[in-house]
Structure 1
Amino acid sequence: MSNEEQIEYWNDNAGVKWTEQQDVMDALLAPVTSLLLEAAAIIPGERVLDIGCGTGETSLIAMDAGADVTGVDVSKPMLERARSRANGRGTLLLADAAEYRADEGFDLIMSRFGVMFFEDPVAAFTNIKANLKPGGRMVFACWQSPKVNLWVMVPMAAIKPLLPEAPETDPHAPGPFAFADGERLQSILTKAGFEDVTMTSHPVEICLSQSGGVDDAVYFSSQIGPASRALREVDDELKSRLLLALKEALAPHDDGGRVALPGGIWIVRAR
């Protein structure tokens, strides 16, 4: 099992951009973070493993709740930011959760969008399960179908007509929407040895700009997410056209400087 492609991706431009946009990402994902932490119900003193801890937001919240936190991530730039923010608290490791094994089990394993990138998800979750104490629990958030995540679909629909036709991609390939199919996800976790698997659907509002209007939303979409990949691979003339298309598509969602679109997630619980 190898996650080399994803490790390379998150240590290249993507990891750098997420680190640069840390404050924006924390605000954008705040509704998801709230739902995740509510489901996790952290108890002071618990040992917590935070998978894909990124720039550290969820790990820091767990630390503030009194947990003994170990965060793991494959992205060096994001982990460096997490360590800086943690200021010596917790244990933040450069490690792949598909292979990481702790010396002692965890009461809780949690993740905010950090588990959809495994090349072999059954093998990865089998390893993750081995890190749970008997009776321990796992809680994570993952995206539902792109169709309900208009914050992705609206920008992509705007730029797609201007791009060369792309080959069809495997919807189950490692990536943000790999676990959109709830039945498939249930099967993966069951095969990995988890029990009492439940998935709760939650609508969430994804705010691409808190107060800067459509220009800020266009800039964000050009830096983070599926549209950003397309923009990195085109010449300046086409890039200008793509940015204009993004602006026209996002402008109707500008409400006094706040640009927000619907999204949808699964909150997954298992033991």
Structure 2
Amino acid sequence: MTNTDQQEFWTEEAGPTWIAQMQTMDRTLAPVLDRLLADAELRDGDSVLDVGCGAGTSTVAAARLTGPQGRACGLDISRSLLDHARAALADAPNVSFVLGDAQTHDFGQDRFDAMISRFGVMFFSDTVAAFSNIARGLRPGARLTFATWGEISENPYFTMPARVAKSIIGAPPKTDPDAPGPFAMRDTRKVVGQLGAAGLRDITASEVALPLTPPGDAQTVADLLCQIGPAHRTLTHFDVGQEDRQRLRAALADALAPYETPQGIRIPALINIFTARTAGGA
């Protein structure tokens, strides 16, 4: 999928779906954003670039950490997500949004002290070119911090729905995990090499075990899994009727039983957290 294809996909298909599930997904991914921002070490007065900002949750969170003298700019390829962000967050202080492809966007004279991304950098057609371009929008010595999904086998949020949907409905065509998509940056050694090739320095990669925290009971989470992710892809590919949809929903709810805790559903995840700096600076 080219970057043009990604723009169309995230504007016409994935964007509206994400907006519909935004509150639930933000709660589900809250531990990831919390860890990302902790590792980003944002300071009062920082200007922050949020790449692949989506509907702006991470952008606003970053702006809060930089105080009244700081600012956060969200950059995304999806017009529908940014339209929602601008409308919903019009009164958020020190927050702005730009429609653009981080791989090719002309940052002009704008320069940022830091770059963050929560699952927004796995979709580039050319990762080295993308980070080289992002670096041109950052000040010398600026810190980059971003989160990606880790190894596929360590992320049951994806593997469990895919397995259950296959057993109930069938298997959709396989996708290439190395192509732009959720798991394109699961190999930390490969990504570290790409960041180095982009001219970045002080590169670190950490594999972090975190819980995903979707709200609601097993039935509620099963509904979510039918609307986003591998189970949704299977439902869409086979264009199934209501009866099979209900069978899948019930099977997903049963499969969530191992993840039920007194605090609610907790799905283990392996998240890669990368940090780096641009050349120059102290």
Give the drift of 1:44: 1.6
- Partner residue, 1:229: 233
Give the drift of 1:257: 8.0
What is the CA–CA distance in structure 2 between the aligned matches of 1:221 and 1:116, rounded to whole Å?
Answer: 21
What is the CA–CA distance in structure 2 between the aligned matches of 1:257 and 1:198, rounded to whole Å?
Answer: 33
- Partner residue, 1:22: 22
Q: Please, which of 216, 235, 240 is the counterpart of residue 220 of structure 2?
A: 216
- Partner residue, 1:75: 78
C-alpha contact (below 8 Å) 1:213/1:256 kept by paired residues: no
Deviations 1:15-57 (A, max 9, x none): 1111111111111111111111111111121111100111111
Deviations 1:79-131 (A, max 9, x none): 12221332244220111111112222211011010000011111111111111
C-alpha contact (below 8 Å) 1:231/1:242 kept by paired residues: no
Give the drift of 1:256: 5.4
Deviations 1:183-215 (A, max 9, x none): 11111111111111101111110123x2x3111
C-alpha contact (below 8 Å) 1:55/1:78 kept by paired residues: yes
TM-score normalised by the chain length of structure 1? 0.92
Deviations 1:130-180 (A, max 9, x none): 111111111101110111111221111111233444454322111111100
Instruction: Report which stretch shifted further, 230-239 or 253-262.
Output: 253-262
Query: What is the number of equivalent residue pairs in this alignment?
Result: 269
1:76-115 equivalence runs, <5 A: 76-88=79-91, 89=93, 90-102=95-107, 103-115=109-121
1:199 aligns with 2:205: yes
Structure 2: runs of 5 or more not aligned: 278-282
Structure 1 residues 265, 244: closer, same or farther in 2, change over 3 A?
same
Give the drift of 1:76: 2.1
Instruction: Report which stretch shifted further, 237-246 or 179-188.
Output: 237-246
Matched letter for residue 84 of structure 2:
R
What is the CA–CA distance in structure 2 between the aligned matches of 1:257 and 1:270, rounded to whole Å?
Answer: 35
Runs (4+) of structure 1 exceeding 6 A deviation are none
What is the CA–CA distance in structure 2 between the aligned matches of 1:218 and 1:2, rounded to whole Å?
Answer: 31
RMSD (Å), alpha carbons: 1.9
What is the CA–CA distance in structure 2 between the aligned matches of 1:240 and 1:256, rounded to whole Å?
Answer: 26
- Say which SS state the counterpart of residue 17 (structure 1) adopts: helix
Instruction: Report which stretch shifted further, 245-254 or 143-152.
Output: 245-254
What is the CA–CA distance in structure 1 between the aligned matches of 2:42 and 2:263, rounded to whole Å?
Answer: 36
Structure 1 residues 257, 268: closer, same or farther in 2, change over 3 A?
closer
- Partner residue, 1:188: 194
Deviations 1:248-271 (A, max 9, x none): 212343345822210011110001
Query: Quick one: percent identity of the two aligned structures?
Result: 38
Structure 1: runs of 5 or more not aligned: none
- Say which SS state the counterpart of residue 159 (structure 1) adopts: helix
C-alpha contact (below 8 Å) 1:74/1:95 kept by paired residues: yes
1:125-136 equivalence runs, <5 A: 125-136=131-142
Matched letter for residue 43 of structure 1:
R
C-alpha contact (below 8 Å) 2:31/2:213 kept by paired residues: no
C-alpha contact (below 8 Å) 2:219/2:249 kept by paired residues: no
- Partner residue, 1:9: 9
1:239-250 equivalence runs, <5 A: 239-250=245-256
Structure 1 residues 257, 133: closer, same or farther in 2, change over 3 A?
closer
What is the CA–CA distance in structure 1 between the aligned matches of 2:106 and 2:140, rounded to whole Å?
Answer: 15
- Partner residue, 1:61: 61
